[in-house]
Amino acid sequence: MSKNANGEGSIYKRADGKGWIGQITLGRDPETGKLKRKTFYGKTQKEVQKKMSDVKVEINQGTFIETKLQMGDWMDSWLENYKKPPNVKLSTYVSYEMLIRQHVKPSLGKVLLTDLKPDMMQKFFNDKFSSGRVDGKGGLSSKTLRNIYNMLHECLKQAMINGHVNKNVCEAISVPKSTFEKDIKVLSNDEQQALLHAVEHERLRCAYYLLLGTGMRLGELLGLKWDCVDLDLGMIKIRQTLNRLKTLDSDSPTKTKLIFQTPKSASGKRDIPLTRNIINELIAHKSKQQAEKELAEGIYQDNNLVFCCALGTPIDPRSLIRNLHNLCGKNKLRRISVHSLRHTFATRLLEANQHPKVVQELLGHANISMTLDTYSHVLPNVKREAINTLDKLFDKEDDCK
């Protein structure tokens, strides 16, 4: 092959006849003095020419970056150096690690950072939308796709800052969005009463009243402490959550552990008023909890938690989930999730014509669009009732002739 000036190149057919190869000379390595070349591969000569032409343009513009850093390696580095506690919350780190391991690396992990193209990233998201679930049962939800997009955008933004790439390909793509309504389970009024009857003699009866009467998330309920409960004012403050998360300690005997954290967003920190019957439930629950403390004197671990095990230790969220499923089974109730109680709370408020903005703030949603999108199934009836109230504006006076 003949020598070429920097930025020039040559194209030739592969020896096995299966495609074409092109090379561009980039200059000499300052340490070894050897020529540096970039090689391109393609099925056709035209494909290779296009790749070489794009790089030549970057060379002439002074924006060309030569690196052998693969996407998977860069994401590992980004996660370790920029997205590991205390830089972010452990739950955020765990979520990013899972998304990278399960979704990004299998598809894009071996691609060089400098070889990432918008059409390649767009295909990645389109594929994930149509058939991206790990269990093979269809595509990822719009929310999960948006989470992956936000993560990749931030990751490639840092790659630009570090000089690994000269553009963020995420800015040139469109994230697919599902047109299907989210399928959420809401208890009917009869089901709600049946559940309250089923928990009548349960040790954690008050927990179910709080879930149905405040719309708290499970982690918020189990992270609630008594110093965030004002029984005189009838108010609770959401200031921390309890979740089971993957541990980062390699010496830990378990892969996961219970972690107390602050809410994931500013909107998650909120105050929720309590109804009189829930205040009474909390008063009764506190009295029973005091009896448990006295019974376990000497071995009770007082963490000041509103809901805890008989010896004061935190309740594993999985335990309450199992408890609810067992209750549904024993009482022949429709199997529901703990989150369904939160959905039921929001639905009851909207059915009572409460403003969606109020519901948003009580739920701790980051924006009102999330509330409206999630509970769109309730809004048609609410809108109909609102319009019906206008009937009187068009009533004609009987005595008008």
Give the pLDDT of residue 400. Answer: 52
Domains of the chain, each with CATH number or no CATH: 9-61 (no CATH), 71-172 (1.10.150.130), 189-385 (1.10.443.10)
Of the CA atoms within 13 Å of residue 20, those in its CB half-sphere come to: 16
State residue 251's pLDDT score: 76
> Distance of alpha carbon 387 from its chain centroid, rounded?
37
pLDDT of residue 4: 41
Q: Label residue 184 exposed, middle or buried (CB < 10 Å: 0-12, 13-18, 19+).
A: middle
Low-confidence ranges of the chain (pLDDT < 70): 1-9, 62-63, 65, 179-182, 381-383, 386, 392-393, 395-401
Q: pTM above the 0.85 mark?
A: no
273, 232 contact by CB (below 8 A): no
Please say whether the beta carbons of 260 and 240 come within 8 A.
yes
Specify the pLDDT at position 38.
81
Please tell me the predicted confidence (pLDDT) of residue 180.
58
Dist. CA 344–CA 58, nearest whole Å: 56
Per-residue pLDDT of 81-127, as tens digits, reads: 999 998 999 999 999 999 999 999 999 999 999 889 999 999 999 99
Cα(222)–Cα(321) distance, integer angstroms: 12
